[in-house]
Amino acid sequence: MSSIDARQVPVDTTSAERLAAKGLGYRSVDAQGDAFGDYYRAVSRGFLGPEPEDKEIAAARDKKIERPERLIGVYDEAEPDGFPVGTVGSWVTPMTVPGGTVDLWAISDVTVAGTHRRRGIARAMLEGELRSAAAAGVPIAGLTVTEGTIYGRYGFGPAVQTAEVTVDAVRAGWRSYEPSAAVRYVPREALVEAFAEVAEASHRDGGTPAWTGRRQQFAGVHPSVTSGEKVRGVVARDADGNAVGAMSFRLVEEGDYTKHELKIVHLEAATADAYAALWRFAISHDLVAKVTAELQPVDGALPWLVADPKAVAQKAGDHVWLRILDVPRALEARTYAGEGASHAMNAAGVLRVHDPLGFTDGTWRVEIEAGTARVFPSEMDPDVEIGIAELSAAYLGGVPLRTLADAGRVSGSDSALERIDAALRPARAPHHGFIF
């Protein structure tokens, strides 16, 4: 957990004033208070969900307290029913980056009522979140998004991709080594514990910790999950009996009893061996013709484990969007590869960063020595011109600057782009395995 409690960060006065001028109140909501029920009903309605039952509201309250989360509601003062017309929640959490972790201002619950849309409520809430995060000294904000067109305007860029994987289990076969981890069924409650046990070691760059309710959802024992009894689970243990992987799944009959689909709900593997053991269990399951899994690493070893790589279809897409708020602190929080690591003092480059909201706008000289960056404001001519959304997208090395330059979204000489890409490149693709 981070040392910063987002609940202690004051509500942004600029957004409060801007919304007040439109007759809208902008205030914090206490997760333990009476207003929380309507806050959560508004969130559920905003995400097109059903009217939540009391037990679901209680579970949501527990989640907010556990994270611990700052909640903000926007209220139409002309409608005194106490029901918010805008919602947003945020908490500070460690995010894994190369060489360590960085504090992330994680944002969730962004909804605006259908009756109040396109009046600037979301903009006020988002900008308010970014100003609050910056004021609290948190160098990066991030979220998972419903639509790819909403957040670029605030400086967020897609930094972590995931893959939707579909395996033709009849065709796939197995051509790799025999995994040594033992895979065993466990009751769903035990699965919740196993996911917690395995999680930390399985974090990749871009990963953040889940919370109890999310693990209960993975295991099918959370009040928000329908037909949770259909969720099954297995745990992979190493020779010493330690849990090294866990997987929950549903078996769905597709009209032919011999051709079930095994839908992986969540798969967490702390070792390559556990990953192989769990996938082998899934694709060699009797009466299963197809295995599907969402939110998988884009560089997973699966196609290299099976006999027929054409049996594995992978569809990659954006998942976690990041927004750097402090260039020196964000870049200095991670380590770097490439030539910079072996040279005494190797300037990776001078970046001219464009930030329409002003947080990071300026020219920054990045020096990398022995894999560590130092970043200073600079008057030098830039090697690279880049928007803050693009820098945020490239921060974990999930997309090369070269690709962004090819798309006309970054400019710079080939040698500068190559040098910076070599430094940013991670050993493995960043990954984040759930929605938040």
Residues that bind ligand COA (CB under 6 A): 46-47, 110-112, 117-123, 145-147, 149-150, 153
Compute the least distance from the CB of residue 73 to ligand COA, in Å: 13
For helices 13-20 and 121-135, what crossing angle results, to 10°?
A: 160
Nearer to ligand COA, 107 or 366 (CB): 107
Compute the least distance from the CB of residue 149 to ligand COA, in Å: 4
Nearer to ligand COA, 89 or 233 (CB): 89
Compute the least distance from the CB of residue 20 to ligand COA, in Å: 16
Nearer to ligand COA, 5 or 318 (CB): 318
Compute the least distance from the CB of residue 106 to ligand COA, in Å: 12
Compute the least distance from the CB of residue 322 to ligand COA, in Å: 14
Nearer to ligand COA, 47 or 304 (CB): 47
Nearer to ligand COA, 153 or 428 (CB): 153
Nearer to ligand COA, 125 or 288 (CB): 125
- Among all residues, whose Cβ is closest to ligand COA? 122
Compute the least distance from the CB of residue 436 to ligand COA, in Å: 10
Nearer to ligand COA, 161 or 202 (CB): 161
Nearer to ligand COA, 15 or 216 (CB): 15
Compute the least distance from the CB of residue 365 to ligand COA, in Å: 32
Per-residue buried b or exposed e for 223-234, using 16+ beta carbons within 10 Å of the residue's own CB: bbbeebeebbbb
Nearer to ligand COA, 46 or 349 (CB): 46
Compute the least distance from the CB of residue 234 to ligand COA, in Å: 32
Compute the least distance from the CB of residue 152 to ligand COA, in Å: 9
